[in-house]
Amino acid sequence: MNLCHPKLVRLLQLAYSAEKAAAFAYIGHAGSVKNPDQKAAIRQIELDEWRHRETVLAIMQQYEIPPSRYNEIKYHIIGRTISFSCYVIGWFMPYYFAGRLESGNVCEYFIMMRYFHEVGITDHDDELYEMGMKEKEHEVYFQKSLENNPLLPLFERIFGWGKKSSLNNVDLENKVSVKESNSYCRHRKS
How confident is the model over 21-67, as pLDDT tens digits?
999 999 999 999 999 999 999 999 999 999 999 999 999 999 999 99
Across all residues in the chain, what is the average pLDDT? Answer: 94
Question: How many domains does the chain contain in total?
Answer: 1
In a domain, 189, yes or no: no
Q: How confident is the model at residue 98 (pLDDT cuts 50, 70, 90)?
A: very high
pLDDT of residue 189: 60
Host H or E run for residue 133 = helix 125-146
Q: Is the pLDDT of residue 190 over 60?
A: no
CATH number of the domain where residue 141 is located: 1.20.1260.10
Domain that residue 105 falls in: 6-183
Q: In angstroms, what CA-CA distances link 105 with 99, 102, 182?
A: 10, 5, 16
Residue 170, φ and ψ in degrees, nearest 5:
-80, 130
pTM: 0.93
Determine what percent of the chain falls in helix, strand and coil, rounding each to the nearest 5.
70, 0, 30
